[in-house]
Amino acid sequence: MRRHSLTWKLILPVITASVLGILLSGYFAHSVAKREILKGVNREINLTAREMVAQVTAFFGRRTADLDSFAEVPLIQDYFNNRDFGLGEEAGAYLAGFKKFSSVFLVRTGGHLAAGLLDRDGTELCRVEKEGGAPRGAALPPFFAQAGAAGPAGRYVSGVVPAAGGPPFMVYARPVHSPAGEFRGVVYLQTDLTSLAEKLDRLKVGGGGFSFVSDENGKVVLGARRPAGVSALEAGRDIPGTGLSVSVVAEASDFLKPLAQIRAATFGFVVFFGFSAGLFIYRRIRSSLAPINALINAAGRFSKGELDYKVEAGNSIEFAALAKAFNEMAVSIKSPTNCGTAYGSSAPCRRWAGPSSRSSTWRRSAASAWKLP
């Protein structure tokens, strides 16, 4: 197929427009689908972050309630009252009772690693650890001064403390005051954060997603922040009443993989469709232009003097009429030279009508076939 042929000129715009139309439609459909998928993922990770913040807030609220109920145990005041009066034996009995109560309290609540009591000088009076809890050597943050400065109705909550060889924890502390307002010491709970860490490990949006808790400096204190790809989507929410925030990260590629497969399939379909449609249209145009080629061939033969050649231009009414006109033109051109044989030797030869008469006869036949004026 020559580039300047009529077939090429007819097929090229059709195939180009069809392929471009499919490509543009696929591109816009891909863009819209990608935008909607990413919007859905963003909504999902924001909702997940809000739900996680609600769970963490409820967790911290329960730990605060535990501290308040633990600090109100009468055994603490009884111990300090007997100690202040110099009743060491009675004070020791109340302290032993407080230790026993602390053991039961740790088992009942199930969310703390240890409980303890400090006197007004910061000396540890007792510490009770949950069985299988944090190692005894786990370093506590310096909370005594902050807890003592919180006032009678105040409390102190530390940040997340990582423990080597043990679970991360936080310290909830509250000062102990006498009925007269005199500072007597500090009671504290060492809160286990294992359950929160496990929730963060399970909290994944997509195959490559992860979540973590960070402090006000952006340092990850719970969970693990893994390297994220360039298409990572992240949503963060602050935890009310703390300097912590929850972040949920999802890899957009996890959700765009089906779309990428669809895009590849669409491209393959476009290639297949373009080739198939081009081949089909090419054959149809070639078959439609075959009568024109036959007429062109006939004109070439007539110009060489092959006036006995009969034009066959297919079944189309229009091209059949043209073929008939071509054949009549050939007969009219040939008739002056064959008049003696056509009508016998005794018949007089008709006067040659001339080329203008023959061409006008052909034009009338063609015009009647194509219904031209």
Domain ranges of the chain: 28-250, 257-370
Give pTM, 2 decimals. Answer: 0.65
Q: What is the pLDDT of residue 139?
A: 61
Q: What is the pLDDT of residue 355?
A: 47
pLDDT beyond 50 at 344: no
pLDDT beyond 90 at 66: yes
pLDDT beyond 80 at 227: no
Instruction: Give ∠ CA 240-43-30 in degrees, rounded to 5.
Output: 155
pLDDT beyond 70 at 367: no
Instruction: State mean pLDDT over 253-273.
Output: 78
pLDDT beyond 50 at 345: no
Contact 222, 197 (CB under 8 A): yes
Q: Domain 28-250 sits in which CATH superfamily? A: PAS domain (3.30.450.20)
3-state secondary structure of 258: helix
Instruction: State mean pLDDT over 148-171.
Output: 86
Q: What is the pLDDT of residue 126?
A: 93
Instruction: State mean pLDDT over 25-38.
Output: 83
Q: What is the pLDDT of residue 242?
A: 86
Sign for the CA dihedral angle at 122, 126, 132, 137 comes to positive
Q: Please state, in angstroms and rounded to a whole number, the distance separating the CA atoms of residues 5 and 251.
A: 53
Q: What is the pLDDT of residue 350?
A: 46
Instruction: Please indicate whether residue 305 or residue 82 has the higher confidence score (pLDDT).
Output: 82
Q: What is the pLDDT of residue 342?
A: 42
Q: Please state, in angstroms and rounded to a whole number, the distance separating the CA atoms of residues 34 and 105.
A: 53
